[in-house]
A and B are shown apart, each in its own frame.
Chain A
Amino acid sequence: MSAGWMIVRRWMVDRRLSTISWTVGLAVIVVLTAAFYPSLSETTADLGSDSSGAMSALLGLSSAIDPSSPLGYLWIGLWANVVPMTQIAFGIALGSAAIAGDEETGTLEYMLSMPVTRTTIAVSRFIAAVAILVVSGALLCLSLIVSIPLFELGDSVTTTASDGTSTTQPGATALDAFNGTLSSTAVGLGFLGLTYAIGGITGRKGTATGVAAAIAVGGYVLYTISNSTGSLDWLAELTPWKWYVDDASLVLGVSWAVIRPVIMAAAGFVVGAVVFARRDLQPAK
């Protein structure tokens, strides 16, 4: 077994309990929310029609999304906010642990006394962190796929407007679950890369976590302000929320914009790994 693979495996094994707990917790939230669809779908329909522009922005609603449909319900209930936020939090936790977290505890220094290069460690840790996020995302997707037939989310819904025209919205499918989870996991991946880069540069977990979390939360606030006021659009474009919520992959399918956070993660990886390979290791705290 190569040294790189050994490091990937060990890092994942060391985090198995926290990963399982996190993923199971998220899957339970998905299943519970899905279970309330039959009774809450009408409420969400009212919520959609009564919402102001700001509220619609917060809910992630656009004119193309019917909140009474299964996908609309899942979107405003989970995928427009709760799911990406939790995956961003998970990405930040993994990205900060990959280099900075272990550097701060001093475990990374001992690893560096072994016959492995800093680049091998940096690459292996990034792969392990991404693998954990992807596995967690896959299980999240699976929890939704399992919930679809259990809670009538696969049934199409026909609504009749006041002018007598009726519209039929399709039920949720496994492909929709995949599209939605792919996008939310991609956002988490982007923040994983960002946090990894800051950790690789500074070697300090608190700094990496704090800066990345501030960017995530600040971006969300900026997006909602931009959406409700119509200003600062150009700035909102820089946040992942703009494309993620506007494109609503769970409902409308995956768009090419999903590549943005992947590029952000790749750039973060390169910057973090290169700087880490060249700088002094920080002493353990």
Chain B
Amino acid sequence: MTTVIETDGLTKQWGQLIAVNHLDLAVEQGECYSFLGRNGSGKSTTARMLLDFIRPTAGSARLLGGAGADPAIRGRVGYLPGDLNLPRAMTGNDAFDFFGGLRGSADDPERASLIDRFGLDPTRPVRELSTGNRRKVGLVLAFLGDPELLILDEPTSGLDPVLQEEFRSLLADRKARGVTIWLTSHVMAEVERVADRVGLIRDGKMAKELAMEDLRHQTTGRIRLGFAEPVEASAFDGVDGLTTVDVDGRDVTVSVDGPVAALLRRAGDLGAVHIETQRRDLDDIFLELFDLSADDGASP
């Protein structure tokens, strides 16, 4: 498999501030990689280094086998910045003609359908557009010309829920075509449907990398059991796959990794009177992971 984005010890430092700290990253062709982190964690700085807007203090970054500074490489990349700024007098159509012209995709047959899909009026000048409508212009520009790699910095920021859904659908469509996607976000639910892998960045460092499948797995497996009489946590010792046991009087909440048959047998033996499965929100897991990575960072 071809590696489309590759960083090796990528570092950006301004004075005492280390915005990105020895970042090692590899995104394979056709993969959707989501870079998650809080505001100011280094997501946008990484995107700006990938496209050579700013130069690394140390380390290197490669896109599609070449440098982000190479126009031939950038011609194969669709980019949506976190804060899209276009000349204010430019209309959407002007932008598609001009930037599309530079990329050789002004006459992309998909242009009309993309405009239609996002419900954009392309005749209005940028200065008259709301934040959401400017975002739509940026999204159409990013998708024009069927790029091999999409770099999207907080793509749904400012979009209403309907358009967010439309965007996810479009992203899934591009992913099915084999397009590699690298997107930043601080909203876990946004990436749930499209991401294959997530990287959690904290204070410029890669805190954790996880396959989306593993994350999804963590959303299930919490079971609440009700008993007629209070039980001790030790009553569940030796149950296969049990990772946590929380006792609150006659209620016991457990996490299970794997089959639940052994747990159910033990619960039955202990006289359980009701059973309830719980699904954890991805955002909770996101917060939990960040807490864990903070703890990791604090340890010597």
Q: State the A residues within 8 Å of B (CB).
A: 1, 3, 6-7, 10, 14, 105-107, 109-110, 112-117, 280-281, 284
- A109 pairs with B103, CB closer than 8 A: no
A109 partner residues in chain B, CB cutoff 8 A: 48, 53, 81, 85
A218 to B84 alpha-carbon distance, docked (Å):
39
Which of A6, A106, A113, A280 interacts with B74 by CB under 8 Å?
A113
- Docked complex: B53-100 residues within 8 A CB-CB of A: 53-55, 69, 71-72, 74-75, 77, 79, 81, 83-87, 89-90, 98-99
16 residue pairs bridging A and B, Cβ less than 8 Å apart: A6-B101, A10-B98, A106-B83, A109-B48, A110-B79, A110-B84, A110-B86, A113-B77, A113-B79, A114-B74, A114-B102, A115-B71, A115-B75, A117-B71, A280-B53, A280-B55
- Docked complex: B196-216 residues within 8 A CB-CB of A: none
A52 to B87 alpha-carbon distance, docked (Å):
50
A10 to B100 alpha-carbon distance, docked (Å):
13
- A280 pairs with B54, CB closer than 8 A: yes
A281 partner residues in chain B, CB cutoff 8 A: 48, 53-54
B77 partner residues in chain A, CB cutoff 8 A: 113
Interface flag for B51 (CB, 8 Å):
yes
Interface flag for B52 (CB, 8 Å):
yes
Q: Known interface pairs A113-B51, A115-B74. Does A106 touch B85 (Cβ–Cβ under 8 Å)?
A: yes
A1 partner residues in chain B, CB cutoff 8 A: 101
Which of B55, B69, B81, B101 interacts with A110 by CB under 8 Å?
B81
A113 to B101 alpha-carbon distance, docked (Å):
13
A107 to B127 alpha-carbon distance, docked (Å):
13
A10 to B90 alpha-carbon distance, docked (Å):
10
B74 partner residues in chain A, CB cutoff 8 A: 113-115
- A105 pairs with B85, CB closer than 8 A: yes
A284 to B101 alpha-carbon distance, docked (Å):
24
Task: Kindly name the residue among A6, A14, A105, A113 whose own CB sees the greatest number of chain B CB atoms within 10 A.
Answer: A113
The interface size bin for chain B is 20 to 34
Whole-angstrom distance from the CB of A120 to the nearest CB of chain B? 8
Residue of A nearest to B79 (CB): A113
- A107 pairs with B87, CB closer than 8 A: yes
Q: Known interface pairs A106-B83, A109-B81. Does A114 touch B55 (Cβ–Cβ under 8 Å)?
A: no
B98 partner residues in chain A, CB cutoff 8 A: 6, 10
A14 partner residues in chain B, CB cutoff 8 A: 87, 89-90
Residue of B nearest to A1 (CB): B101
Which of B72, B85, B99 interacts with A284 by CB under 8 Å?
B85
A112 partner residues in chain B, CB cutoff 8 A: 51-53
Whole-angstrom distance from the CB of B283 to the nearest CB of chain A? 29
A114 partner residues in chain B, CB cutoff 8 A: 71, 74-75, 99, 102-103
Whole-angstrom distance from the CB of A140 to the nearest CB of chain B? 25
Residue of B nearest to A10 (CB): B98
A64 to B243 alpha-carbon distance, docked (Å):
99
B85 partner residues in chain A, CB cutoff 8 A: 105-107, 109-110, 284
B72 partner residues in chain A, CB cutoff 8 A: 115
A6 to B71 alpha-carbon distance, docked (Å):
15
A115 partner residues in chain B, CB cutoff 8 A: 71-72, 74-75, 102-103
B51 partner residues in chain A, CB cutoff 8 A: 112-113
- Lowest 5 CB-CB distances: which A-B pairs, in order? A106-B85, A115-B75, A115-B71, A280-B54, A113-B79
